Structure 1
Amino acid sequence: MFRSLMIITGLLFSLNAMAEKIGTLSVQQALMTSQAAEAFRNQLKSEFSGEQKQLMDLEGQAKKLQENIQKGQGTQSKEVQDQQRVQFQKAYGEFQRLAQQLQQKQRQREEVFLQEMRPKLDKVIRGLIDDEGYDLVVSKEATIFAKPELDITAKVVELLNKQ
Structure 2
Amino acid sequence: MFKPSFTKTAVLLASVLMAGSVTAKEMKIGVVNVRAVFSQIPQTAKIQEALKTEFGAKFAEMQKLENDLKFNIEKFKRDGSTMSEAQKKELQTSIEKQQQQYEPMARSLEESYRQRQGEENNKIGALIKTAIEGIAAKDQYDVILNAEAAVFAKPEFDISSAVVTQVSKAK
Count how many residue pairs are aligned between Structure 1 and Structure 2.
Answer: 152
Query: How many percent of aligned residue pairs carry the same amino acid?
Result: 25
Q: 2:45 aligns with which of 38, 57, 74?
A: 38
Aligned to 1:49: 56
Calculate the aligned-residue CA RMSD, in Å.
Answer: 2.6
* Deviation for aligned residue 1:48: 1.2
Q: Distance in 2 between matches of 1:62 and 1:105?
A: 23
Is the contact made by 1:72 and 1:81 (CA closer than 8 Å) also made in structure 2? no
**Equivalent position SS for 1:23:** strand
Q: 1:96 to 1:145 in 2, by over 3 A?
A: farther
Once the two structures are superposed, residues 54-100 of structure 1 have per-residue CA deviations (whole angstroms, 9 ceiling, x without a partner) of: 01111110111011111113212344323322322321332222222
Q: Distance in 2 between matches of 1:19 and 1:87?
A: 72
* Larger-gyration structure (1/2): 2
List 4+ stretches of structure 1 deviating above 6 A.
none
Aligned to 1:94: 101
Aligned to 1:132: 139
For the pair 1:142 / 2:140, whether they are aligned, the reply is no
Is the contact made by 2:69 and 2:98 (CA closer than 8 Å) also made in structure 1? yes
Q: Distance in 1 between matches of 2:23 and 2:35?
A: 24
Q: Which moved more, 1:153-162 or 1:80-89?
A: 80-89
Aligned to 1:69: 76
Is the contact made by 1:19 and 1:135 (CA closer than 8 Å) also made in structure 2? no
**Equivalent position SS for 2:82:** coil
Q: Distance in 2 between matches of 1:34 and 1:91?
A: 41
TM-score normalised to structure 1 length: 0.77
* Deviation for aligned residue 1:148: 4.5
Show structure 2 runs of 5+ residues with no match. Answer: 1-16
Q: Distance in 2 between matches of 1:16 and 1:44?
A: 47
